[in-house]
Structure 1
Amino acid sequence: MPVKVEPQDIAPIRNAIVGTFTDARQLQDALQSIVGTLDPPESRPALVLGAGTYNWAAFKLVETWNARGHIADLVGGLQRLAPRSADLNRLQRDLFVTSAADLDRVELQGFVQSFIGPAPAAAWLDKLGRRMRAVCRIEFGGQERAGVGTGFLVGADAVLTANHVVEMIERQPLLADDAICRFGCLNDMDKPGVAVRLRRPKYSDSAKPPGADELFPGGAEPNAEQLDYTLLRLGRDFDAEPFEIAKVAPAVNDPIVVLQHPKRAPLRIALGRISGFNASTTRLRHSAATEQGSSGAPCLNQDLEVIALHNAARYAVGQALAMYNTAVPISRIAAALSRDHVMIGTL
């Protein structure tokens, strides 16, 4: 998925990188974790920083990655390793995370074509529009705190989200009265979307908790029952096309699309790739840019079918830098729901 920025963007990207990774060794180590995931291998930029001052070497590094079409991989990879970097977060948001409200069909045609291959871009964008209408921002009354969460329609009155997004309702059931699923929120001014409340008194048909290592450092990896999802029931049917469940299992290096409401923002779109799976295959790892509030977002394949539910950014024990994002494979969730006699999507 080659992406390039304008020449005037090179210096700001360099400045953000050297401001976050304060010496060449730090940056070299960060590059080592990014470059091996790039595909195809022959397009991978050189890993070693060039000669000269750190500032100059970093500038040439950005130029090289941009020329190879991997600038989004560079900025996105470094942002995931340093999620608290305000400069990298701003660049990732401004340059590579697309606001759904600003989608321009003509400008996106070429970009989308490079992502989806031979499929007609116009048809893909039409389908994307239908998928966007089935994503919701999960809110609790008038709360203004960031990162409430994201959900997506899997049935006429069924919304799937991450369990940790709504676990407060389990502890305080009366909060269900204030919970809102806001669909079609493209901006908070003239396109705020449609607010739908949960069914009462039974707001959920099935739920599984997060894994131990998602709750505290050093915990055990998620097992087959720790899938971090909740299936919410709406108080009424919502008029949108539910998401389809992918029929083909995802694989390493497959492209991924995440439709999300990061930091309580209007709907955003991020593109990335699958970088691997945990040992028990209860989580896949991906490179799409996400933030607090993205939990519960649908992760889609290039045919815009659901392959996973985004649920976390993962950190090494004792480290402040994120290693990768994780998502729960939808096949695992569908199997668990089936055991609860609940069917979702088009299987």
Structure 2
Amino acid sequence: MRMRLLYPPIEPHEQGMLDVGDGHRIYWEVSGNPAGKPVVFLHGGPGSNTTPLHRRLFDPAAYRIVLVDQRGCGRSTPSVVTSRAGLVANTTWDLVADLEQLRELLGIDRWQVFGGSWGATLAAAYAQTHPQRVHEIILRGVFLLRRKELDWMYRGGAGNLFPEAWAEFAALVPDGEDPLHAYHHLVNDPSPEVAARAAAAWSNWEGAAVSLVPSPSMIATYADPTFAVAFARIALHYFVNDGWLADNQLVRDAGKLGEIPGRIVQGRYDAVCPPATAWELHRAWPGSTLTILPEAGHAVADRGVLDALLSATDEFRP
């Protein structure tokens, strides 16, 4: 079967920095058709950022494509790479409020919401809070920040699949300590060397598990020191605080999404976000359909993932 290609590279025609309060200014951009159907792309992490590739998931003739770097991430300021201030007033609900400020700034009544991994968490939280502002939802590699999901990835579950990578990750955790709290302490250590070493180990663990077949380019991305520090600091900030969510909240409240059309794309062998989470969300959300890809893991570059995502964005284009 011939694989779908991403849409051609495009540049933003509008961009800016939105002052959302609390000392934060978030980077946003708009590309595609200025009169097209609005869609907002929510990046993963927590602690990642948007890239030019994300614009290419949407038909630029049909969509008004909005990308935003979340608080502390990417081009938003202050960056957690250079300042701990990037973690101040940085919670799931702050990010939800930021999206509403951005929507109002851009004069958008309703938009499609697209999120992968942590972006799926934020998409679900936003849509459950503001369902009247959402046309459709597209989710990939679903993560909902439940305790059992954190236990799987960071307390030994996934270590059964990647024992050599887990051994390197666990080597920095003192005996008897919880890995999440131990790493949270390490990446915020006053010693730059200690913090950088812990951030690299945290990021390398995720990089080892993210693709069904190990990808040198993906591993290199996760190993990049600047990426690793932002990724580790923000992710751990969220995880030790349970994302400021009640456990299972986003599945429990999925009924708030009602008949909002949703497309969930999930790799069968996703070792970072196992498909049970996508399945549970799908069953609790009447308007959703779930596509489980038989030869994919968590990475967007895995077999069939881009095809399924492009089919979903094409299905919803005007």
TM-score (norm 2): 0.30
Larger radius of gyration: 1
